[in-house]
């Protein structure tokens, strides 16, 4: 039976790969790489670097295809996600049919961990539900940007006896300031933290965590909020893309 390996490769540092991930890289013979269409795509380069660094020999193939574009209209967010996942499912289905033999093993290099804010697992389940391709898949966990940023800022994810909430910028915008004791925020394209500068909060922010372009800023939210926005805008303009995350934490004293 055909098999796919979903390999978590961390947030950008090739040294963040686990031993399990390295072993998985050496089991696959073809890797599907999605091109998001950036003119200077460091994400593609880093995927190739991971393969060249850890795969023994050269008897593997990279199949690069254009990633379907996701609808950005916030008024139709759920419909946009649904359409995007369906497009991806059709693409993956075709790749599995065309590029994998009956007993071949393919690989998908997933940023961070396949189980945290990544759509690949859902898309593969959708492919199976379509019933045109039969395959098995295995998930190899990876270091997340949450773990990497905590390490870079030298902070624990949670304080003693306190829970931590992981959410998105979209959900943060809909929530209450009362729920900001310990909140990790991902996928925030609009600097939603600025809505809470009147709160007594501390922020730990980072972009391109683990890469040579890593940027870290931490401090009282009302003091560093504007600096984070300006830094973020400049970095995105220079590179054409940005991946960032942050923790909002209310002091306990």
- Average pLDDT for the chain: 92
- CATH number of the domain encompassing residue 237: 3.30.950.10
Strands 165-168 and 182-186, sheet pairing: parallel
Q: Which of 150, 200, 195, 198 is nearest to 174 (CA)?
A: 195
Strands 165-168 and 135-140, sheet pairing: unpaired
Instruction: Find the domain containing 201 and state its range.
Output: 145-249
77 band by pLDDT with thresholds 50, 70 and 90: confident
37 band by pLDDT with thresholds 50, 70 and 90: low
- Bridge partner residues of 215 (DSSP): 207
Q: What is the pLDDT of residues 160-203, one digit of tens each?
A: 989 999 999 999 999 887 789 999 999 999 999 999 999 999 99
Q: What residues contact 234, with CB distance under 8 A and at least 6 apart?
A: none
Q: Taking 80 as the threshold, does the pLDDT of residue 41 lie above it?
A: no
Domain stop point among 115, 140, 165: 140
The whole-angstrom separation of Cα 239 and Cα 41 is 8
Residues 62 and 87 in one domain: yes
Mean pLDDT, residues 21-31 = 97
Domain stop point among 140, 162, 178: 140
Residues 162 and 133 in one domain: no
Q: Taking 90 as the threshold, does the pLDDT of residue 112 lie above it?
A: yes
- Bridge partner residues of 30 (DSSP): 61, 106
Residues 20 and 7 in one domain: yes
Q: What is the pLDDT of residues 198-219, one digit of tens each?
A: 999 999 999 999 888 999 999 9
Residues 47 and 84 in one domain: yes
Domain stop point among 140, 161, 186: 140
- CATH number of the domain encompassing residue 36: 3.40.1010.10
pLDDT at 148: 96
Residues 14 and 66 in one domain: yes
Residues 17 and 107 in one domain: yes
Residues 135 and 223 in one domain: no
pLDDT at 73: 58
- CB of 203 within 8 A of CB of 225? yes
Q: Taking 60 as the threshold, does the pLDDT of residue 39 lie above it?
A: no
Residues 105 and 173 in one domain: no
60 band by pLDDT with thresholds 50, 70 and 90: very high
Residues 34 and 116 in one domain: yes
Residues 68 and 133 in one domain: yes
Residues 48 and 61 in one domain: yes
Query: For the chain, how many structural domains are there in total?
Result: 2
pLDDT at 40: 54
Q: What is the pLDDT of residues 80-90, one digit of tens each?
A: 888 889 999 99
- Cβ atoms within 10 A of the Cβ of 26, count? 14
Residues 163 and 126 in one domain: no
Q: Taking 80 as the threshold, does the pLDDT of residue 91 lie above it?
A: yes
Instruction: Say what the pTM is.
Output: 0.89
């Amino acid at each position: 039976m055909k098999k796919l390996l979903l390999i978590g490769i961390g947030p950008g540092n090739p040294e963040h790969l686990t031993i399990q991930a390295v072993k998985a890289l050496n089991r696959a013979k073809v890797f599907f790489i999605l091109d998001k269409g950036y003119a200077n795509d460091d994400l593609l380069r880093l995927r190739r670097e991971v393969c060249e660094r850890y795969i023994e020999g050269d008897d593997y193939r990279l199949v690069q295809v254009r990633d379907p574009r996701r609808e950005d209209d916030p008024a139709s967010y759920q419909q946009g996600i649904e359409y995007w996942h369906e497009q991806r499912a059709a693409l993956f289905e075709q790749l599995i049919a065309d590029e994998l033999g009956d007993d071949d093993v393919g690989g998908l290099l997933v940023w961070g961990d396949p189980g945290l804010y990544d759509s690949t697992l859902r898309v593969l389940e959708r492919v199976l539900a379509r019933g045109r391709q039969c395959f098995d898949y295995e998930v190899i966990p990876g270091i997340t940007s949450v773990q990497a940023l905590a390490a870079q800022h030298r902070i624990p994810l949670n304080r003693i006896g306190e829970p931590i909430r992981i959410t998105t910028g979209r959900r943060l915008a809909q929530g209450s300031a009362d729920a900001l004791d310990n909140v990790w925020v991902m996928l925030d394209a609009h600097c939603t933290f600025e809505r809470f500068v009147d709160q007594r909060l501390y922020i730990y922010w980072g972009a391109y965590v683990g890469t040579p372009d890593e940027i870290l800023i931490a401090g009282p939210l009302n003091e560093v909020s504007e600096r984070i926005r300006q830094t973020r805008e400049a970095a995105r303009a220079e590179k054409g893309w940005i991946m960032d995350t942050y923790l909002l934490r209310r002091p306990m004293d």
